[in-house]
Chain A
């Protein structure tokens, strides 16, 4: 599903060039659940940005579902993100002035899908995360765990190839964290490919495979 070959990326600040990813080789198969761990500065955020087509890279190649992702126009990148990737963010990023249902339906508005169908699919998504009774609530009327469940429903509503989760439990207490993680595992069991960036060993321990990054290189690739 995901294939990285000698992927390199550096940030340029003035005359200085700071290499962040120094040649990553990585293959993630369809249906895998992978955790990416690493200390801050290890390059895991940058790697996630590249995987999520939010940022480009300098050398090597990134193939997503058979398609080479390189030097895309912004419009094409946006289209590809919409089609292929579902995002779950640490701080949820729900639009505060839209209801849970509308938030879930948001990615579908960037496709030519009728409102009726959007709302139906969003409602199904909310049902799947157990929040159909909160459909018309605004985000600030929801708990942290509920918000993240809405965000997960939003990530899944487009039926993406890959779900990318960036510290999905980072803003939650331990009980809620467990619930959200249970949900993500369930999503995975339904056949979704999933990459979770985390610094919590508990979370990583529940994944099939853990990739440790260090100084822009893969330090260890552990399969449970």
Chain B
């Protein structure tokens, strides 16, 4: 007498039955699982790449205020008001004062460039040319300038035309080597031969380029470099809550005002150029929102296809097992028990394979993140944890839904069929 093979005792009956059912058709179970896994894999990868693309574009805006409008001077291209063509437009303090009266304008700054734009900065035996911008105190908000030591320019610096300078980290490194930043504050350096005292050192998300810039009070710089009341560029931010339409209206208003003050034809786009970052950013953002929606639609569609596959395969399996189901019913299995059994199998198939797809997708996104260097179109693709959790819940529900029709079919099998045909 050979000993009966008992199923492993530590597993409950329903688990043994369930595994039995799944393992009985390994190929079928595998193919079904793959279709679901592929669906969730694609969803996760698409979401990850979408995030990466979005990060990449956000990165391009990283060092500028996204709610800003920049005005650049130019040359007239349309004759107007008796003035000749090709006249150079120069902003002045009146323009700044006029823009300052508009309530929706939040931070406002002008920029003045000393002749040549780059100026030689020197201290002791070190000297080199760096970009120097003469600005108003609000400039720090427009460029997202972060102080690492000391302070930024303030209104008093401008009023008193103090000879002070704020330098980027790269300049500090060049002039002072590894000397701690707080120990270079108060030091006098030469800017194109004129002494200026360092009051602050900053860092900027824009990287080395931005950190190789220096800032002077616009009033001081214009005096030192014979700028009169000239302003080369005007930048301002709009209240965060403003809609795109409001910003556009505001921009038009500013444009019209300055055009009038400088006798520029209202349609002359070359005399006065406007860069509306609000519009650029919001347009891009809306593209991303649409892209994200699209990704969800595609991803959910793929997952749905997998689930329909599971439902279908379960239906086939129920049909195939009609006799077995009939027999089980004849021997006393209730419809409820059958429904539970079928739904459980569907949930197992979708949840396990779906989750495998999610994990594979997350790994793939991680791999892309590691292997592909950050560039203009892809940066730091990630999948949020809550997406994975959401997917798990969704898959379990979807599995139950997938099992519903087959379960109903199984429950409606008449036990009489067990008496006919062969098992």
A105 to B366, CA, bound (A): 50
Question: CB distance A110 to B331 under 8 Å?
Answer: yes
Question: CB distance B330 to A54 under 8 Å?
Answer: yes
Residues of A94-148 at the interface with B, using a CB-CB cut-off of 8 Å, are: 94-97, 99, 101, 106-107, 109-111, 115, 119, 123, 132-133, 135-136
Sorted from nearest, which 9 A-B pairs have the closest CB atoms? A82-B332, A135-B4, A110-B332, A93-B423, A101-B4, A75-B334, A133-B1, A107-B331, A136-B5
Question: CB distance B418 to A49 under 8 Å?
Answer: no
Selected A-B contacts with CB under 8 Å, 24 pairs: A45-B419, A49-B416, A54-B414, A54-B415, A55-B414, A55-B416, A74-B335, A78-B333, A82-B331, A89-B419, A92-B423, A94-B423, A95-B324, A95-B423, A97-B24, A107-B332, A110-B333, A110-B337, A123-B4, A135-B4, A136-B3, A136-B5, A154-B331, A166-B419
Which chain A residues border B320 with CB–CB below 8 Å?
none
Question: CB distance B5 to A75 under 8 Å?
Answer: no
Residues of A78-97 at the interface with B, using a CB-CB cut-off of 8 Å, are: 78-79, 81-83, 87, 89, 91-97
Question: CB distance B1 to A132 under 8 Å?
Answer: yes
B6 interface contact, C-beta 8 A: yes
Which residue on A lies nearest to B337, using beta carbons? A110
B286 interface contact, C-beta 8 A: no
Q: How many residues of A contact B (CB 8 A)?
A: 39
Question: CB distance B323 to A93 under 8 Å?
Answer: yes
A28 to B174, CA, bound (A): 111
Q: Which residues of B contact A (CB under 8 A)?
A: 1-6, 9, 13, 20, 24, 323-324, 327-337, 411, 414-416, 418-419, 421-423
B27, chain A: closest CB distance, angstroms: 16
B25, chain A: closest CB distance, angstroms: 11
B421, chain A: closest CB distance, angstroms: 7
Which chain B residues border A93 with CB–CB below 8 Å?
323, 327, 418, 423
Which chain A residues border B418 with CB–CB below 8 Å?
54, 89, 93
Which chain A residues border B422 with CB–CB below 8 Å?
91
Question: CB distance B337 to A52 under 8 Å?
Answer: no
Interface centre among A49, A74, A78, A136 (most CB of B within 10 A): A78
A154 to B3, CA, bound (A): 19
Which chain A residues border B328 with CB–CB below 8 Å?
106
A78 to B415, CA, bound (A): 9
Question: CB distance B2 to A133 under 8 Å?
Answer: yes
Q: Which residues of A contact B (CB under 8 A)?
A: 45, 48-49, 52, 54-55, 74-75, 78-79, 81-83, 87, 89, 91-97, 99, 101, 106-107, 109-111, 115, 119, 123, 132-133, 135-136, 154, 158, 166
Q: Which one of A48, A87, A101, A110 contacts B334 once the chains associate, using CB atoms below 8 Å?
A: A110
A12, chain B: closest CB distance, angstroms: 15
Which chain B residues border A111 with CB–CB below 8 Å?
332
Question: CB distance A109 to B13 under 8 Å?
Answer: yes
Question: CB distance A54 to B419 under 8 Å?
Answer: yes
Which chain B residues border A87 with CB–CB below 8 Å?
330-331
Which residue on B lies nearest to A97, using beta carbons? B24
Q: Given A54-B416, A91-B423, A93-B327 in contact, is the A135-B2 Cβ separation under 8 Å?
A: yes
Q: Given A49-B416, A92-B423, A94-B423 in contact, is the A75-B336 Cβ separation under 8 Å?
A: yes
A109 to B334, CA, bound (A): 11
Extra A-B contacts (20), CB below 8 Å, given A136-B4, A154-B331: A45-B419, A54-B415, A74-B411, A78-B333, A78-B334, A81-B331, A83-B332, A89-B419, A91-B423, A101-B4, A106-B331, A107-B331, A107-B332, A110-B333, A119-B4, A119-B6, A135-B3, A136-B2, A136-B5, A166-B419
Question: CB distance A91 to B5 under 8 Å?
Answer: no
B328, chain A: closest CB distance, angstroms: 8
A158 to B333, CA, bound (A): 14
Which chain B residues border A48 with CB–CB below 8 Å?
419
Question: CB distance B336 to A99 under 8 Å?
Answer: no
A198 to B279, CA, bound (A): 89
A133 to B2, CA, bound (A): 6
Question: CB distance B4 to A81 under 8 Å?
Answer: no
Question: CB distance A97 to B20 under 8 Å?
Answer: yes
Q: Which one of B5, B323, B335 contacts A99 once the chains associate, using CB atoms below 8 Å?
A: B5
A81 to B419, CA, bound (A): 14
A155, chain B: closest CB distance, angstroms: 9
Which residue on B lies nearest to A90, using beta carbons? B419
Interface centre among B4, B329, B336 (most CB of A within 10 A): B4
Which chain B residues border A133 with CB–CB below 8 Å?
1-2
Question: CB distance A78 to B423 under 8 Å?
Answer: no
B9, chain A: closest CB distance, angstroms: 7
Q: Which one of A52, A79, A119, A123 contacts B330 once the chains associate, using CB atoms below 8 Å?
A: A52
Question: CB distance B5 to A95 under 8 Å?
Answer: no
A94 to B422, CA, bound (A): 9
Question: CB distance B332 to A79 under 8 Å?
Answer: yes
A94 to B423, CA, bound (A): 7
A96 to B4, CA, bound (A): 16
Which chain B residues border A54 with CB–CB below 8 Å?
330, 414-416, 418-419
Which chain B residues border A78 with CB–CB below 8 Å?
329, 332-335, 415
Which residue on A lies nearest to B17, using beta carbons? A109
Question: CB distance A115 to B334 under 8 Å?
Answer: no
Question: CB distance B327 to A99 under 8 Å?
Answer: no
A42 to B172, CA, bound (A): 108
A99 to B2, CA, bound (A): 12
Q: Given A54-B415, A101-B4, A135-B4 in contact, is the A96-B329 Cβ separation under 8 Å?
A: no
Interface centre among B20, B328, B331, B423 (most CB of A within 10 A): B331
Which chain A residues border B2 with CB–CB below 8 Å?
133, 135-136
Which chain B residues border A89 with CB–CB below 8 Å?
418-419
